[in-house]
Amino acid sequence: MIAAVLIAVSIAALAQFALYYWRAMIAGIAAQPVSERIRGAAGISGPVVGAQDFRSLLSLYELAPDLRGPAGKFGVLRSYYFVVQRLGRLSPSLASWAHAEMTICSRYLAVVVEQHMERNTAFAAQMRGM
C-alpha cells in the first residue's frame, strides 16, 4: 500500500514538473521578437501579437506547407490554449491569468510560424540554386 502511494505521488510530481518545464520552454520561445511580415500575413494590425490572434496564426501555419517534410500540428498547444480559454471564461478571478497564458501561446505560435516560413524560404532558395 505504501509503495502504491509513493508511486502515485512520484507520478504526480513528475507530471507537475513536466508541465512547468514545458510551459517555461514555451514562454522562452514566446519572448523572441515577431517580424512585421508575419504579423501582416496573419492579419494582425497591432504592433504586438495578442491572445486573440491564435487562430489566425494557426491558419497561417496550416496554409504554408512544410517543404522539408511533415510538420507538427500543435495538438498540445491547441489543447492548452483552449483549456485555458475555457477556464478564463468560467472563472472571472482567472481571467487575467488566462489572458496572459493565451498571449504566450499566441506569441509562441507566431515565432514558430516565422521560423517555419524562414526555413521554407531558405529551402526554396536552395532548390532554385540546384
What is the tally of structural domains in the chain? Answer: 1
Please state, in angstroms and rounded to a whole number, the distance separating the CA atoms of residues 78 and 51. 13
Q: Which domain holds residue 91?
A: 2-129
Is the pLDDT at 89 greater than 80, yes or no? yes
Please state, in angstroms and rounded to a whole number, the distance separating the CA atoms of residues 105 and 32. 13
Pick left, alpha or beta for residue 27 (phi over 0 → left; psi -120 to 50 → alpha; otherwise beta): alpha
Average pLDDT over residues 93-108: 94
The pLDDT-based confidence of 94 (bands split at 50, 70, 90) is very high
pLDDT digit string, tens, across residues 51-74: 999 999 988 888 877 765 555 678
Total number of residues shown for the chain? 130
